[in-house]
Structures are given as structure tokens and as C-alpha cells.
Amino acid sequence: MKLSDLLTGFSYIIKNASEDIEVTELVFDSRKQIVPGAVFVCISGAVHDGHAYAAAAVEAGAAAIIAEREVEVAEGVCLVVCENTREALACMSAAYFGHPAKELVTIGITGTKGKTTTSYMIRNTLELAGIKTGLIGTIEAIIGETHIPSNNTTPESYFVQKYFRDMVNAGCKCVVMEVSSQGLMLHRVGGFTFDYGIFTNLSPDHIGGNEHKDFADYLHCKSLLFKQCKVGIANYDDEHMEEVLKGHTCELETYGVAEGADLRAVNVDLHNKEGELLVSYNTTGNMEIEVTVGVPGKFTVYNSLTALAVCRHFNIPEKVIKQALRSVKVKGRVEPVEVSNRFTVMIDYAHNAMSLKSLLTTLADYNPKRIVSLFGCGGNRSRDRRFEMGEISSEYADLTVITSDNPRTEDPQAIMEDILTGVKRKDGEYVMIQDRKEAIRYCILNAKDGDVIVLAGKGHEDYQEINGVKYPMDERVLIREILAEMSEEERKAL
């Protein structure tokens, strides 16, 4: 492969040697060993500046350096200077892997909340219809039968394109991916055009530090998706929709509950069926269907409407759509765990005050006997979060069970005492049980008919981090162990 084959989609200046040279590999991570003939892209990160490693890359045999400013290179090494090396990396990665997005139907989802659940709803529906679909998101990347745990909601552009190529090779026809504001800001999804771009909702988040300087910047970055897709599908009910879509270059469709949306949900019904918390509704507009979704909450209406708005473009039979939405489960997102028909147990990733409040108020809509809220807070993080989560749980749950969650290098008991400080600001009942398995056992053995027990904070995580070591700990496994360890009398009482 010649360097000139990779230099497409962005502006650049050749400062040394020629672009008509053979290259062997594309590298952007200074920690990766440089092979002779490689192209090294200097990425300016929040912690390290890749330009500082250009000389070492040349010494290791790099044939070309891509940089935002002039750096010293040896004779015969091609120096390419461009305005933004992250944009360059995205375009070069697309070319390096043979533009795999052209062989897939690409679906990108942006928004503050709902991206993960919506992505699984869309994939579940497409897969059930026989359309093999890859996924890239907060929890994992799914490529055929391979599941790769995620470090970022949207990985670096090199890996986005690599995953796309691997998906094509695995026989996938579609990919659905979560597109974070950071991913858009840092050009992680550059180098191709999405077939469908989706906007779920917007509220202040990821502002400050190394993320977004203010809400306006956050909103602007979200809006970039709608200048990079063919069809935009947006939540009509969100107050920021028009701002997000301003200057869009795509065709537009909307969904929502309010009149005026192209696809509307009507006759929404939240109901409890033998311990299952369900949502049912009808749609009007550009699709008419009656669905029941196996994920609780009013927000499920919006998430599933999004899936309907996308999947209607694939001419999927109505019975397949109904089956897909009824059976969908998203790991760690109000995920039901089968324990008893007398009460409901759910696992959720809610790990801050805002998400915990949203979760608990959602569950209250089902009029449970009690809401039991079990959670802890991570060590080496803001103490304010502990006070806030304790206060929210005490206000909106009937019983708070304070336990441990990734204490890291802090004393778990001290973290729990901080949570208790917040709990005592309101009048809710509470217990403190440091061992998480024992805390879950307590909830199950003391459950009352009609209770909803929510295990919050861990979600899809399958570890407990203590003093720099991640120990295996999956709440689903803990529940299975607890049930297996029960006496015959305890099992009969479930």
C-alpha cells in the first residue's frame, strides 16, 4: 500500500520526501512497537502529545510521520503536515481498512441518555429479522459471535474502522453504534457518512475537565452527527431538538409522544405481570403497530420508538418487531433477573444522583409494594456523590441497603458512612451491609410481595476494584449462588 492511498479526505502539505512510498502499517499509539515502513500519526492527547514520540518512531523505522506541525525527520522519511491529526487518522484508517462502511448500513446514535438501550433494541430487532448486525457501544463491541469489552463509548477511529472491517468479514450487513459527543469532537467517527443518525435527548453532562467547556459546546458536538448522515431521526419532544438539528444536511424524520411527530406513541400503559415490569403502547403516523416492551419505564417508550423509527426502513415483518421488543434485555440497564414471581429484582448501572433518581421514579410508576434500593459508591471519587445518592435513595425508595462498590484504595466502611450521611437527610429506612453478596441475600430473603428490588451502580460491570486489583464479581452470578445456597424452606418462600 502506498502512502498516497491513505492521504484522502483531508488537506495536507508534504514537507519532506514523497507520498509515493510503500507503507506497511498505520500506527497512532506511541506505546505500540513501530515496524519498519509504518506510518506514525502524532495525536495530541489530554495527557501525552504524540509529536514528542515522532523522533523515536523515525528511529524505529517509520517511513512517514503525520503531524500538526513540523518535526525533525531523517532524510527519506515523508513528513505530512495537516491541521488536525485526529481527522487525518479517521480518514487514513477508513482507507487503510478499505472503506468498510461502504459495505455496511451504518446507524449512529447520539444523545445524553438512551444510547445503549436503543442500540441493543435496534440490533435485537435486525438480528431477529435475519439481518446480521454488529454493535459498538459503552458496554462492548459485538462482531459476529465475538464480544469485546469497551473502554470508551466510541473507540478511536482506527478501531472503529477495524471493527467495521471485521464485521464485514464476519458477514454483517449492518452496524449500530453509540456516538458520544467526545467521539464526534475528536473525529472518532470521521472518514465516512452514516446511513442513519439518531438523536435521543440532551441534558447537561460531560461538561468540564477534559471534556466540554460548556453546554453550548456539548450541544454543538452532538449536532455534528446530522451533518454526517443521510437520514436523521430525532426525538421531537426534546426541547433541544431544533438546536441540535440546526444546519443539518440530512433528510429528517421525528418520533415522540407529542402531536406533530412523524411517529407517535399513544395509549401508553405501564403494567406489572407476574413480577415483570412492562410497557405497552400503540403507534400512529408513518407506522401503525401495537407493541409490548420488556424494559420498564416511560423512557422505554422513547427508546423503543427510536428502534421502530429505524427498523421500519428495513421492511421487517410486524410479528418480528413485536417479538424483538418483547424479548430485549440490555445488560445492566434495568435488567430483570428471574428470582421470584412474588417480587421483582433488577440490575441497573445508575451510579450518580441524577440516574438513581430517574430509575427510582420510573419504578414508582408501577406502584410497587416497596422500592428497595441497594447501592454503594466508588472510592477515590467525589464525596458529594455519596451524600447526593444517599439522599435521593432515602427520598424515593422505601428501603435503602448501603453496601460496597469499587472502594479502590478507600475504606469501604468510610464510604458507606458518607452515604449514610445523605440517607439521614430524608426519612427513608436503611440497613448497612458491607459485603455485597450478603446485602443482596438480605434483600431477597426479606422481600415482600410486590416489592421491586433494584441493585444499582454495577450494571454491566463484572468486577469489584479493591486496592488496584479487579476481583471477579458479577451480580448475576451472586444471585445464582444465593439461590443455590438457600434452604428448602427459603426456596419455597420465594
Q: Which of 273, 293, 327 is the last residue of a domain?
A: 327
169 and 212 together in one domain? yes
Task: Please give the mean pLDDT across all residues of the chain.
Answer: 95
> Of 265, 268, 271, which is closest to residue 283 (Cα–Cα)?
265
Instruction: Give the residues across from 143 on adjacent strands.
Output: 146
Within this chain, do residues 136 and 233 fall inside the same structural domain, yes or no? yes
**In the chain, how many domains are there?**
3
pLDDT (0 to 100) of residue 204 = 62
Residues 160 and 14 in one domain: no
Percent of all residues in the chain with a pLDDT value above 90, rounded to a whole number: 89
Q: Which residue has the cell 419505564?
A: 297
The CATH number covering residue 51 comes to: 3.40.1390.10
Q: What is the mean pLDDT of residues 440-451?
A: 97
Choose the final residue of a domain: 67, 96, 125. Answer: 96
Question: Which of the four pLDDT bands, split at 50, 70 and 90, describes residue 155?
Answer: very high
Pick 96 or 211 by higher pLDDT.
96
Cα dist. 57→42, 60, 69, 77, 228 in Å?
Answer: 10, 5, 16, 11, 33
Asked if 147 and 295 sit in the same domain, the reply is yes
| Residues 87-127 pLDDT 10s | 999 999 999 999 999 999 999 999 988 999 999 999 999 99
Residues 20 and 116 in one domain: no
User: Do residues 136 and 186 both lie within one domain?
Assistant: yes
**455, 342: one domain:** yes
Instruction: Look at residue 44 in the predicted model and tell me its pLDDT.
Output: 86
pLDDT digits (tens, 9 = 90+) for 165-199: 999 999 999 999 999 998 999 999 999 999 999 99
Shared-domain flag, residues 274 and 348: no
The helix, strand and coil proportions of the chain, stated in percent and rounded to the nearest 5, come to 35, 25, 40
Considering the domain architecture, whether residues 345 and 244 belong to the same structural domain is answered as no
At a CB cut-off of 8 Å and minimum separation 6, what does 461 contact?
332, 349
End-of-domain residue from the set 44, 68, 96: 96
Q: Is 220 exposed, middle or buried (0-12, 13-18, 19+ CB in 10 A)?
A: middle
Which pTM was predicted? 0.92
Residue 395: domain span: 335-493
Q: Is 60 exceeded by the pLDDT of residue 207?
A: no
Computed on alpha carbons and rounded to an integer, the radius of gyration of the chain in Å comes to 25
Whole-number Å distance between alpha carbons of 309 and 121: 11
**Same domain for 408 and 286?**
no
Q: What DSSP state is assigned to residue 2? A: B
| CATH code at position 247 | 3.40.1190.10
In this predicted model, which residue has the larger pLDDT, 216 or 146?
A: 146
Tell me the per-residue pLDDT of 269-323, one tens digit each, with 9 for 90 and over: 999 887 789 999 999 999 999 999 999 998 999 999 999 999 999 999 999 999 9
Lowest average pLDDT, out of 44-58, 295-309, 454-468, goes to 44-58
| Strand boundaries in 303-351, DSSP class E | 335-337, 344-348
Instruction: Please give, one letter per residue, the 3-state secondary structure of 247-294.
Output: CCCCEEEEEECCCCCCEEEEEEEEEEECCEEEEEEEEEECCCCEEEEC
Domain shared by 406 and 285, yes or no:
no
